[in-house]
Every structure is written in C-alpha cells, then in structure tokens.
Amino acid sequence: MRLRKSLIFLCLLTLLVPWLRIDGANAAPAAGDISIVLDGQPLATDAAPYVVPKANVTMVPIRVISENLGASVHWSQSDQTATISRGDATIRMTKGKKFAEVGGRSVSLDNTVDAKNGRIMVPLRFVGENLGVVVDWNSKTRTITLTTPEGTGAEPGSDPGSNPGSNGGEANEGSTAMRGAWISTVYNLDWPSKASYGDAAKQQEEYRKTLDELQGMGINTVFVQVRPTGDALYPSSLVPWSKYLTGTQGQDPGYDPLAFLIEETHDRGMRFEAWFNPFRASVDATTAGLAANHVAIQHPDWVVPVQSSSGSKVTYLDPGVPAARQHIIDAILEVVNRYDIDGVHLDDYFYPSGATFNDDASFKLYNDGGFTAKADWRRDNINRFVRQLSESIHAAKPKLAFGISPFGVWRNQSADPTGSDTKAGVTTYDSMFADVRTWIRSGWIDYVVPQIYWSLSYKNARYDVLADWWANEVRGTKVKLYIGHAPYKLGTSEAGWQSAQEIVDQLNYNKKLAEIQGDVYFSAKDLLKNPLGLAGELRKYYGS
C-alpha cells in the first residue's frame, strides 16, 4: 500500500511539479542528472526530468500521472493540448502558449507543454499548491525532495491543518489505477477496419479517434492485439505481416503499425500493453491464404487443426512441442527488445475448450515428465511455457510487466473444494489446462486479469462470487489483480445485462476488495458503441 501511494504521488509530482524553479541552474542537466525523493524514498520516471535553460523550469513526462494517480490525462494531437483532471480541478496547456487554463482562469507559464523524444513533457507547479506537496531543491546533489501531506501526518489530498472533505478522490482511488480496454485486431474487430486495408493514413486516423474516445471515458491503458493469428502488426524476421492490415497475409502495409500505435498511445499519457494470442495459429480451415513464412507452412508438424463444438475450424500450435513453445517466446521477445511497450499481455488461448485436440503423437514423444494422465501433461506444458516466457521477458527487461487474462472460472467447487462456488461449463484448469493458481503462487506473472463476464445476478457464475475468489487467490502475493468486464453483453437477454448500471455496480463491488487494482473492458468497439449509455456512466464514475 505504501508503494502504491508512493507511485501515485510520484506520478503526480513528476507531472505536477512543473514549473519548479531551481535557483542557480543556468543550463539543462544531462539525462538522468536530476533525482527525485518522495517522503524519503527515491523515485524513478520512465523519462528523465530536465531543466529548461533560462526559464529554469523542470519538465516531466505527462504519462507518469496516468499510471497510478487517479487523475485523467488527455493529449489532443490535433490542437496540441494537454488536459489534466483530478476531482474538480482541470488544467489545460497548449504547446506554444505561455499560459495555462486552470479552473477556467488563465495562469501564466514560464514554459509550456512540449514534445521531446516521443514523450509529451509538461511543467507543473500545482503539486505544492493543490496537494500540499512541499518541494525543495538541493543544487549540490541535484535532488528534488518532495514531502507530501501524508509524510507530515496530514490526509493526502487535503490542506494540512484542515478537515479532509469527502470528494471524488475516494471514488477515483476505489476505481483503481488500471482502466483498460482490449483492442482486437483479429477479424478486424476493433482496429483497423477492413475499409482501411492498405491505407496507412486511414488506419492511423482510426486509431487516433479510438484513443481519443476511449480516453474521454476514463480509459488510461490499451491492450492491443499485436499477434492475432501467428502473424504480426510489426516487421518481423520470424512471422509474417498480419492479413488484418492489408487483406493479404505477408503483405507490407508500408509503415510500422506497432511503432505508430505505441507513440500515439504514449503521447496521450496512456499505457500500451502488447497483447499476444499465444497458441492460435490460424482462423482459416485451410492453409491456402497463409504466407510462406507462416509457422503452419514451415512447421506443419507443430500445428493441430481443431473443429470446435460450434463447427468453426481453426489451427493451434501444439503446446506439447517444445520447439513450438520456444517459437512463440522468440516472437514475443522481438517486441520486448525492439519496442517501448509497457507490458506483455496474453489471452486465454492455450488448449482449446470444447473441442477434440489430437496431440497423441506429441504426448508420446515429449512426455519427459512421465505423466500418466494427458491432462496433467498438458498443464505442465503450459506451466513450462509461462515460466520460460516470464524468465525471458524479465531477463531482457526486469521491470516490464507480464500478465495473462484467463477465463473467469479456475475450477468449480464440485471438482475442487478450493475452487469457486460456481457451476461453469468451462474452467481454465480443466478445459484449457491453464493452472493460473500455480502461476500466481510461483510469481511467474506480474498481474492477472480474469474474464469475469457474468452479472451479479447470474446464478451459475455470479460476479461477486468470482471477484471474491480471485481476490483471495492473489492475497499475500505480489501479483496484481485487474478484472475483465463485459460491456459487449449489455442489452442482451442474459440475466443482469439490461442496464449499464450492471457495470457500475460491478465497479462499486470491486472497491470492497483491496486486492482489485483495475478494470479492463472487452472490447473497445463495445465501449465506443455506448451500449445503454455506458460511456456516460464511465465518465461519471472515473471523473473524466
């Protein structure tokens, strides 16, 4: 809890310590020359603060406050304006203008918002004025020392010596730092549209509009599917270009979509999680439309065709083949090593549920653990994959977040007394052979996002029952818990989804559980459709 509060004030502070004047500073220091200490604890930012010569103003990255602050940040590329809102306070700064708009009034600036090395940098002086943060500068050690109201014994966010009011700050704290949306590229579900095939400008404009609308609802993180079907939304030496960019797999779209997506996201102060579909190889019944360098063409012995109970035909990479698992890890590491992402995110495509999966050959060939039950062997395959991927990611970038979004039910109590009091027809442990409990307890993942896509009144798998169960699973661990919500169900006939209040009630329930630190919505298109007025409800809830 202490760490979380420190991060919150760091963010705010780096962002809101803007116009900090530093006596005697006549030149900008080298990158990383300025250190920040909050209540005695050293802090770090993703981009080094710097001092603007002559103006003597400290600049910090705008995205810092969006990560754990409870404030909303919006960057408008069209008019180059940064808008920061927290509670009743709103600050607007426009690049090139020497004044900021604060609560409707104009305040002069010594230095305004600027773009530097792909980061939107802002000068903010309102930490001390609005949050009671005391800012001191030590010119000899080049250290900014920040003392918060909490550090002096006062309530955070209140004026020291005054009675703290009950305002929207508590609601924002309860709504948690993570406010995410999944952006699916498979089937062109969320982005890009089929109408934009081969048109880079149109794809870019669509993404900017999507980000603007999502951020307007309070979303601060996007999980963008960069590997939908064994392919890529970036130039790769291992896998082909995704067909969802041009209509033809392997065709160069003429630009680097991933680099663009990350830059646009970061420019708005938002986080970018690279979402990988791990074991799905193709959604086509045949290999006719696959590029020559697709894994199903190059290694047909690694793939298993699957026909689900619904009749759809897809192709999976066999998790039982060690080389297939390593191929996926290598493809993910391409992105980890080359791009400034904020996290690696996997969905629940491990083994398919409700379908026959013919892996008898690999079970016989690769069962080095001596398992008698194929189900245990399958779970071991997935465990090995998750552990090895985690180790590889953190070896390359120790602080990079790695998380997984499993199906919402681990096991029913009828199968395991430690499971949830549910009657789900599918479970992550028994149907997808994904033992999330082991991942959490072993510390292989940094966060987990269970897809709790049922309402508070759905008897077989009630939202509150499952939220309680997952909160208990992460309790006492270092694994963060975010909850996956289902706006796509609003307006359907399933119990509980006849009003947008269902989502709000779920968010309010989350506040009862300290372990829940965020909300993620499936998917972006469903938020943008504004089902049953959900967009307005989220704006009110998050205080955007």
Q: Which of 519, 496, 497 is CA-nearest to residue 181?
A: 519
103 and 225 housed in the same domain: no
CATH number of the domain that residue 334 is part of: 3.20.20.80
497 and 401 housed in the same domain: yes
Could you count the other beta carbons within 10 Å of the beta carbon of residue 1? Answer: 6
Q: Enumerate residues 6+ apart whose C-beta is below 8 A from 304.
A: 315, 316, 317, 318, 357, 358, 359
Residue 446 identity: D
Residue 185 lies in a domain: yes
- Spatial separation of the C-alpha atoms in residues 35 and 48, rounded to whole Å: 9
Q: HSE of 417 in the Cβ direction (CA atoms, 13 Å)?
A: 0
Number of domains present in the structure of the chain: 2
Handedness of CA 182, 186, 192, 193 (dihedral sign): negative
Q: Is 407 exposed, middle or buried (CB count within 10 Å of its CB: 0-12, 13-18, 19+)?
A: buried
Q: Which of 363, 361, 401 is CA-nearest to residue 379?
A: 363
Handedness of CA 122, 400, 352, 420 (dihedral sign): negative
183 and 259 housed in the same domain: yes
**Using an 8 Å Cβ cutoff, are 433 and 378 in contact?**
yes
- Spatial separation of the C-alpha atoms in residues 171 and 65, rounded to whole Å: 17
CATH number of the domain that residue 90 is part of: 3.30.457.10
Digitized pLDDT (tens) for each residue of the chain, 544 residues in all: 444 445 444 444 444 444 333 333 333 334 447 777 665 667 667 677 877 776 667 777 776 554 544 566 677 777 788 777 766 667 778 888 877 777 666 666 667 888 777 677 777 555 445 545 555 555 557 776 655 544 444 333 333 333 322 222 233 333 347 999 999 999 999 999 999 999 999 999 999 999 999 999 999 999 999 999 999 999 999 999 999 999 999 999 999 999 999 999 999 999 999 999 999 999 987 899 999 999 999 999 999 999 876 677 899 999 999 999 999 999 999 999 999 999 999 999 999 998 999 999 999 999 998 899 999 999 999 999 999 999 999 999 999 999 999 999 999 999 999 999 999 999 999 999 999 999 999 999 999 999 999 999 999 999 999 999 999 999 999 999 999 999 999 999 999 999 999 999 999 999 999 999 999 999 999 999 999 999 999 999 998 4
Strand-strand pairing, 99-102 and 89-94 = antiparallel
Angle at 525 between CA 407 and CA 404, to 5 degrees: 25
Q: pTM to 2 decimals?
A: 0.73
Residue 16 lies in a domain: no
Q: Of 124, 147, 170, which residue constitutes the final position of a domain?
A: 147
CA distances in angstroms from 294 to 238, 282, 346, 349, 350, listed in the order given: 8, 9, 20, 18, 19
Q: Of 128, 147, 166, which residue constitutes the final position of a domain?
A: 147
381 and 479 housed in the same domain: yes
- Spatial separation of the C-alpha atoms in residues 19 and 57, rounded to whole Å: 5
Residue 25 lies in a domain: no
Helix (H) or strand (E) holding 85: strand 81-86
For 102, the token pair is 């604060």
Residue 487 lies in a domain: yes
Q: HSE of 323 in the Cβ direction (CA atoms, 13 Å)?
A: 9
Residue 339 lies in a domain: yes
**Using an 8 Å Cβ cutoff, are 267 and 115 in contact?**
yes
201 and 311 housed in the same domain: yes
Q: Of 91, 125, 147, which residue constitutes the final position of a domain?
A: 147
117 and 196 housed in the same domain: no
- Spatial separation of the C-alpha atoms in residues 299 and 227, rounded to whole Å: 18
Helix (H) or strand (E) holding 313: strand 313-317
127 and 274 housed in the same domain: no
497 and 387 housed in the same domain: yes
486 and 350 housed in the same domain: yes
381 and 488 housed in the same domain: yes
Strand, coil or helix: what is 399?
Answer: coil
* Predicted pLDDT of residue 197: 98
For 523, the token pair is 């998917």
Residue 336 lies in a domain: yes
Residue 7 lies in a domain: no
Residue 116 lies in a domain: yes
What is the span of the domain harbouring residue 409?
A: 178-543
